[in-house]
Amino acid sequence: MNLVTEDIAHIHTVKQATPQYIKSDSLKSSSATNEYFSDYASDAASQISHGGQGYETPPSRISTPLVQQNPVDSEMTLPARAGVAQPAPLNIRRSQNGGPQNPGMLSTFDEMSPPTPDVDDTPYIRFAIEQLTRDEDVLGRGRDSADPDQLPLVSPAPHPVASEESSQTSTPPPSIPPPPPPRAPQSASPRPLSQINRKPVPQEVMLPVDLSKDLRMRLGFVPLPLRLPILALYLLLCLLIIAALIFSLIFAGTNHALFDYDGNATARYFVFQYLPQLIGILLILWLFVIEAAMYRSLPYYNMGPSQRNSWVLQDMHILPANFVLPDLTFFRNREPWLGVAFFIFWIANFTVPLLACLYQTQWITDDGPARFRWTAVRGVGWTLVALYVLLCLALLYCAFRFRRSESNLLWDPTSLADLICLFRQSNVGSDFEQTEISPEPNAQIPPRNLRLGFFTTSGRPDVFHGVGEEYAPIKRLSFQPHAAKDAPLASESIDLEAQRLSYGSGFARNIHSPFVRYRWVPWFLRDSTVLAWIVAAILLVIAFLAVSFVNRAVQDGFDPQLPSLTDSSGFSPANFLYSFVPAFLGMFLFLAWQPIDMYYRAVQPFRNMSQPAGATARHSLLLSYPAYGHLGVVTRALINRDYKVAYVTFISILSLSIPVLAGGVFTAIYFSSDNRVRIVASMPGYYALCVLVTVYALSYLTIWPTRKRYLPHNINTIAALLSWLYASPLLGDVALQNIETKGELVDRLTGSTFTAAALTGDGDSDEKRQRPRRGVRRLEANAGLRYAFGIFVGRDTKEHLGIDRLQRPGSREMLVVPTSQQHEKQVD
């Protein structure tokens, strides 16, 4: 009661002052502060308690930080009160004769008298509320979207400004508040007028460079599997197979078959029953390497001089997918002829079971004594000739499609480091904002007419090689080391309210969420699917072994249930069935393992970087298992101690023996003792087949991926990988500047020294000579640098999920384990 009495006495003893407008020219208008709003609300409440007319203000949606404003900077600035950040003075309405419309209304809160019933204060209360919530309205963000202190500065839309005379004489109706003056968004600290630049800054755009002879000679790289000599060698092998097939078909038709049958465990049996499909599946393995090179190169060929595709980053796969089912995405990506070529590559998988039934035994009676002889099945043979001719035509088209003149590459883009070099100065980074946590980042990227080649910019004279959109503006993210040093990661200081109001709080919560971090794995490696694979594989292998050895069914032979007599063209229904079907099933097992193998190869860099200690560049950024053949992957994985990748790829090699053995292990033999024909297995090959099938089935127990191999989304496109790199400080690392060859990139990331010219482009002055030497000394330590996949402070000084160095000088270590998991471990 004493405080209320003192307030009433203070109100009735204030001196009367003639109110007037206070108008100052300012480049920004301040919003009402929390102190303003709380003081005004408390005063209004006290007025209501004393019988005055007051107004109840609705609560604000978000609290605006207290900012000390200079009185001359605002059009609504009250004189400062001792110890308090004081709001601006109210603009007092004047009557038409120039005097105050209400003598009882004062210019400050210190001189405020009880409200006058004839004057409506609603417009001013609404204006104060609008100023408090203007941050959200200007930026279009909700309560839980962004922290006003961290919002980027945007230029407010221009408002029509009324004349000074009308602003002083006209009074808006009580129901419609006066339009607030234009206001710039608040920053963390007030900016002096001298630092505000209102002139528009010209945008820096990417400009293509006209290729001189020297620059043109540097381009045109073609991956090794797609070069003409390598493709010519593959075509030569295909032509040799075609020639051998035609010779066998013609010779067998004119000379009463080929050779006499001498048993099912001899060298001749191996040549006719195992060797053809073994050669065929080795060609399939080589074809996989060629396909992998086409997959990773095609997006960049579509950024070349003669052909462009606006969806190259989002829709074109960079990992092979032409295994169990044909990959038809090329038709959708406006590559119909390449789609036809890949469909032929997929049909080539059927050459292995067809080769398994190419040679069969035939009972010959018109050439000497009656006996069994090896002959070629004419229908199967000519089908194989047609398939290999189509394969040669498809390879010829691919050689034409991936010719040197269509390439603007400097080297083969096989790893994450290559991707960083190609996009480090690109102008498409802004398209990937917050895509690192999206389950489908490809759907969020807008189409771009991208070009791969040499560029310069309108603001810088240097020429660089990379990917970008011609004549499009560049939105650079400048990395501020002091901001990154001071910005705490959520693992060190968890403040739920601060995190809620941080940059895109929904986004901030997601990058720290274990659900988002460990959300994606291919459908065939999900827990329920892997469990189904394991159960099915074990049950089938048990059934296979039981049927094979119970009652000596395989050793003693079994009834073919089909006619076994070989006709004049060499075709026997029983022999065809028990050769083609086992080889076809074995080929399915081999192809079904290839996506598993490819996933483990592609995800291994992320697995290595997901360790708490990170991984070196050789085991992360430079790792490129999908680009190598099976034997190369096993060798490199053992050297790098990636034992699971080595084992999975070894099983992939081991599984190719299943269709080879399964297609040749059975043959029809006539038993004169009981005058019957039985299907009998070659027991050495059958024992080997049983062992291989058992090992293959048990290997499904090892494919269960650990959490370190789970990712936020897929990795089958360039856009999916760039979502974890667009904000990374790696794009601005000095180690990745002015790189001309793949060897130089490897040397820099692994710590080898290099010349000053390679680092800076020129080194004439003494100062420039010394700076590269310091850079060389820094980069000589690159062999000890660790890279991680987790939460880092990006070039925009905000937290992102992706790839960066585990720790940078003067900054905190990356958060590799999600926040909730880390705190669960600390509690444990």
Task: Give residue 502's pLDDT.
Answer: 47
Task: Give residue 821's pLDDT.
Answer: 53
Higher pLDDT: 394 or 160? It is 394
Residues paired with residue 668 on neighbouring β-strands, in sequence order: 679
Token couple for 696: 């293959």
Judged against a pLDDT cut of 60, whether residue 189 lies above it is answered with no
| Percent with pLDDT over 90 in the chain | 49
Pairing of strands 787-793, 799-805: antiparallel
Higher pLDDT: 80 or 618? It is 618
Task: Give residue 363's pLDDT.
Answer: 85
Judged against a pLDDT cut of 50, whether residue 46 lies above it is answered with no
Phi then psi for residue 387, to 5 deg, are: -65, -40
**pLDDT (tens digit per residue) in 478-512:** 544 444 444 444 444 444 344 444 455 788 888 89
Task: Give residue 264's pLDDT.
Answer: 83
**Least confident segment among 140-144, 280-284, 683-687, 744-748:** 140-144
Looking at residue 125, its amino acid is I
Looking at residue 507, its amino acid is F
**Least confident segment among 282-296, 324-338, 759-773:** 759-773
Task: Give residue 737's pLDDT.
Answer: 85
Task: Give residue 290's pLDDT.
Answer: 97
Task: Give residue 155's pLDDT.
Answer: 38
Q: DSSP secondary-structure letter at 370?
A: -
Higher pLDDT: 144 or 454? It is 454
| Percent with pLDDT over 70 in the chain | 67
Looking at residue 534, its amino acid is I
Residues paired with residue 374 on neighbouring β-strands, in sequence order: 259, 361
**pLDDT (tens digit per residue) in 93-122:** 444 444 444 444 334 434 444 555 555 666
Mean pLDDT across 511-515: 91
Confidence of residue 534 (pLDDT cuts 50, 70, 90): very high
Task: Give residue 503's pLDDT.
Answer: 52
Chain CA centroid to CA 525, Å: 19
Q: Whole-prediction pTM value?
A: 0.72
Compute the distance between CA of residue 682 and CA of residue 339 in angstroms, rounded to an integer.
Answer: 41
Compute the distance between CA of residue 274 and CA of residue 45 in angstroms, rounded to an integer.
Answer: 96
In 3-state terms the chain splits into helix, strand, coil percentages (rounded to 5) of: 50, 10, 40
Chain CA centroid to CA 526, Å: 20
Task: Give residue 771's pLDDT.
Answer: 43
Return the H-helix or E-strand segment holding 643.
Answer: helix 643-655
- To the nearest 10°, report the CA torsion of 669, 671, 672, 677: -70
Mean pLDDT across 627-637: 96
Judged against a pLDDT cut of 50, whether residue 190 lies above it is answered with no
**Least confident segment among 32-36, 222-226, 498-502, 732-736:** 32-36
Are the C-beta atoms of 246 and 240 separated by less than 8 Å?
no
Say whether 247 sits in a helix, a strand or coil: helix
Compute the distance between CA of residue 58 and CA of residue 60 in angstroms, rounded to an integer.
Answer: 6
Phi then psi for residue 687, to 5 deg, are: -60, -45
Judged against a pLDDT cut of 70, whether residue 266 lies above it is answered with yes
Task: Give residue 678's pLDDT.
Answer: 87
Confidence of residue 515 (pLDDT cuts 50, 70, 90): very high
**Least confident segment among 325-334, 527-536, 810-819:** 810-819
Are the C-beta atoms of 793 and 477 separated by less than 8 Å?
no
Higher pLDDT: 195 or 578? It is 578
Higher pLDDT: 368 or 571? It is 571
Judged against a pLDDT cut of 50, whether residue 437 lies above it is answered with yes
Mean pLDDT across 626-651: 96
| Per-range mean pLDDT, top range of 138-152, 228-242, 669-683 | 228-242
Q: How many CB atoms lie within 10 A of CB 420?
A: 22
Task: Give residue 454's pLDDT.
Answer: 93
Judged against a pLDDT cut of 90, whether residue 393 lies above it is answered with yes
Are the C-beta atoms of 450 and 467 separated by less than 8 Å?
yes
Q: Residue count of the chain, please give it.
A: 828
- Give whole-number Cα distances, 446 to 208, 303, 314, 662, 800, in Å: 21, 16, 9, 49, 21
Mean pLDDT across 579-584: 95
Mean pLDDT across 73-80: 38
**Least confident segment among 298-312, 361-375, 622-636:** 361-375
Q: How many CB atoms lie within 10 A of CB 17?
A: 14
Q: In what order do the strands lie in the sheet with 259-260?
A: 259-260, 371-376, 359-364
Q: How many CB atoms lie within 10 A of CB 714?
A: 18
Token couple for 392: 């040669």
What is the maximum span of the chain, computed from C-alpha positions, in angstroms? 139
Q: How many CB atoms lie within 10 A of CB 729?
A: 18
**pLDDT (tens digit per residue) in 297-316:** 999 999 987 788 899 999 99
User: What average pLDDT does the structure give for the chain?
Assistant: 76
Residue with tokens 């996506």: 595
Compute the distance between CA of residue 574 and CA of residue 565 in angstroms, rounded to an integer.
Answer: 8
What letters, b where the CB count within 10 A reaches 16 and e where it falls short, cover 481-515?
eeebeebebbbeeeeeeebebbbbbebbbbbbbbe
Q: Taking the domains of the chain in order of start, what are their residue ranges? A: 1-190, 223-407, 416-520+711-827, 521-710
